[in-house]
Amino acid sequence: MEIHKKFTLLCIAGSVVLGVGLTLGASQVIWLASANIRIETYSAFLLNHAEMVAENLTTALDELNKLTSESCSPLDLDSMKLISYNYRFIKDSGRVIGNNVICSAMWGKISPAFHIEGEGQLTKNNARLWRSASSYFPSATKIDISAKGHSFVVTSPTAFAPYEHPSEGLSSSVTSRDGSITRRSFGEFTKSSIFTGASSDICSDKYDICIKANIVANFFSMKRFGLISFISVLGALLGLMVFYTVHQFRKVTGSLTYKLKVAINNGLISTAYQPIVHGATGGVVGFEVLARWHDKKFGAVSPDVFIRKAEKLGLEKKLHELIVSKAFEEYSKGLSSNPGIYLAFNVSTKDLVDGALLNHISNTASLHNVALEQIAIEILEGSTCEISQMGRKIDDLRIAGYKVLLDDFGSGYSSLAYLAKLNVDVIKIDKTFTQAAGTDSPAAVVLKKVYEIAHTLNAKVVFEGVETEHQKKAILEICPDALMQGWLFSKALPIAELTATIKSQADS
């Protein structure tokens, strides 16, 4: 009996020790995993921000070097001021000969010329960078200068303001890909092991920019003494059960299905807009509204993947309504100021017949004072459906004022029957045919015949998936008034870039 009691006490003691050890170890693992997610997210945001800054500098330098006015003339200075004003991450711009600044948009002609000390560092795009150089204007002590050709720009001192004061234990730097150039550093680096710290090292696909970031992730700190004590007591009471519960919880909440439910229910699916343009002029006539989802863990998830998964989860209706609501909320003002531009929403034949999504589109448009004439319904042709029933629905839509587009023509089941019996405004030819333009393939012959049929039916044609100038030229030879959509003109844009594109078109 005494031996059994001792064995029981030993087992209890072992369970307590094991439970405390496991929960404290799990706590450190969780703390470290959280830090990994945090540092990866931070690095991605910092990289994106650094790319925007680099885009500003590169584009501005190219524009400055294209100016044809006499250097430092009044007209040249005015042009430089306009360029400086248009880029948020540029403080000043001007002309440089060798290492000598001779004039700037902000200060005019500089006499005598200001000499930049040192040779600077040559970047891969043949720009010369001076980091923390002496300033030619009195209000700043040190400035960052980028020069190319006979032009230079000064990076705004607030370009990286959101990252200047990172939280304790977090440090990062913006470097060249080979690490020879350090453009920016944030925070104070603290050395840590793989068990007490997390790091990230990612590089840009567009520029010679990499982000190196590190964060201290040591759970065992006196600052968390109370928390450590509580977890120790909890581990003693629950043992392995707590560890198992935590493990299962993390497994469930880290799945793609769970994250998609959260994203849809919390409105975390974003919208993007791909321009539909006149092929000959490049003028924008409309935008196709597309769904985008970026998750911290899974990254950019393909629409084909998450839309199909939403259908299986019974969240397709909520997803489509979310995208419609976001699109009108984001771009209703843009539509009102550009009456010649429309938004195009993808609608399946099932939703066309059902009518619930169309009602949501109509009600949301009314809520944002958007005319139905500025809305296009893109009917997905890849589905078997009673054509006569579709025809009645399409006629009702056109009478109400909607534009009706037949999407992905050529990829579905009854393409010629669709053309013959459906009264649509626009036919969108699938990219598999478009990309055959200018070749001797049978698809190119079909492409021309489809246009001739569409022209006979008084329907406009949008050629999808235009990616090269050769394709564009070949299509315009067939169809001089062709509408086009594809990466040659623009990828799908978030609302901020979309607004800038429309403003640029309006100003030109």
Domains of the chain listed by start with CATH number: 14-253 (no CATH), 259-501 (3.20.20.450)
> What pLDDT is stored for residue 242 in this prediction?
47
Distance set, CA 45 to CA 23, 49, 63, 171 (Å): 32, 6, 27, 14
- Give the mean model confidence (pLDDT) for residues 79-90: 92
Is 168's pLDDT higher than 60?
Answer: yes
Q: Which residues contact 13 (CB under 8 A, 6 or more apart)?
A: none
> What pLDDT is stored for residue 245 in this prediction?
55
**Range in 61-65, 204-208, 373-377, 499-503 the model is least confident about:** 499-503
Tokens of 132: 């923390």
pLDDT tens for 466-493 read 999 998 998 898 888 889 999 998 898 8
Element (H, E) at 475: helix 469-478
pLDDT tens for 252-289 read 677 888 888 998 999 999 999 999 999 888 889 999 99
pLDDT band at 27 (very low <50, low <70, confident <90, very high): confident
> What pLDDT is stored for residue 502 in this prediction?
62
More confident residue, 163 or 32: 163
| Phi, psi for residue 479 in degrees, rounded to 5 | -135, 90
Contact 152, 146 (CB under 8 A): yes
More confident residue, 417 or 424: 424
Contact 126, 102 (CB under 8 A): no
pLDDT tens for 321-348 read 999 999 999 888 888 888 889 999 999 8
> What pLDDT is stored for residue 350 in this prediction?
86
pLDDT tens for 450-470 read 788 878 888 888 999 899 999
**% the chain with pLDDT above 70:** 85
Beta strands at 270-278 and 210-216: parallel, antiparallel or unpaired: unpaired
> Positive or negative, the Cα torsion across 94, 97, 98, 103?
negative
Contact 90, 105 (CB under 8 A): no
Is 383's pLDDT higher than 60?
Answer: no
Say which DSSP state 223 is in. Answer: G
Is 432's pLDDT higher than 50?
Answer: yes
> Which long-range contacts link 110-115 to residues 24+ away (Cβ below 8 Å)?
110/136
> What pLDDT is stored for residue 49 in this prediction?
92
Mean of all residue pLDDT scores within the chain: 83
pLDDT band at 414 (very low <50, low <70, confident <90, very high): very low
Tokens of 110: 């500089």
pLDDT band at 415 (very low <50, low <70, confident <90, very high): low
d(CA 239, CA 233): 10
Left if phi > 0, otherwise alpha if psi is -120 to 50, otherwise beta: which for 369?
left
pLDDT band at 150 (very low <50, low <70, confident <90, very high): very high
Tokens of 67: 């100016």
Q: How many CB atoms lie within 10 A of CB 6?
A: 10
pLDDT tens for 198-245 read 888 999 888 888 989 898 877 766 676 777 777 767 666 665 464 455
Amino acid at 208: D
> What pLDDT is stored for residue 328 in this prediction?
92
Helix residue ranges, H only, 67-133: 74-86
**% the chain with pLDDT above 90:** 29
Three-class HEC string of 148-192: ECCEEEEECCCCCHHHCCCCCCEEEEEECCCCCCEEEEECCCCCC
- Give the mean model confidence (pLDDT) for residues 139-160: 88
- Angle at Cα 253 formed by Cα 250 and Cα 256, nearest 5°? 125
> What pLDDT is stored for residue 147 in this prediction?
93
- Residue 280 has, within 13 A of its CA and on its CB side, a CA count of 7
303-312 and 316-337 helices, crossing angle to 10°: 130
> What pLDDT is stored for residue 92 in this prediction?
92
- 290 beta partners: 272
Tokens of 102: 């001779």
The widest CA-to-CA distance across the chain, in whole angstroms, is 104
- Give the mean model confidence (pLDDT) for residues 64-68: 92
Is 1's pLDDT higher than 60?
Answer: no
d(CA 173, CA 164): 11
Is 101's pLDDT higher than 90?
Answer: yes
Say which DSSP state 483 is in. Answer: E
Q: How many residues does the chain have?
A: 508
For every residue of 264-309, DSSP letters joined together read HHTT--EEEEEEEEETTT--EEEEEEEEEEEETTTEEE-HHHHHHH
> What pLDDT is stored for residue 376 in this prediction?
92
Q: Residue 406 burial (CB < 10 Å; 0-12/13-18/19+)? A: buried
Say which DSSP state 70 is in. Answer: P
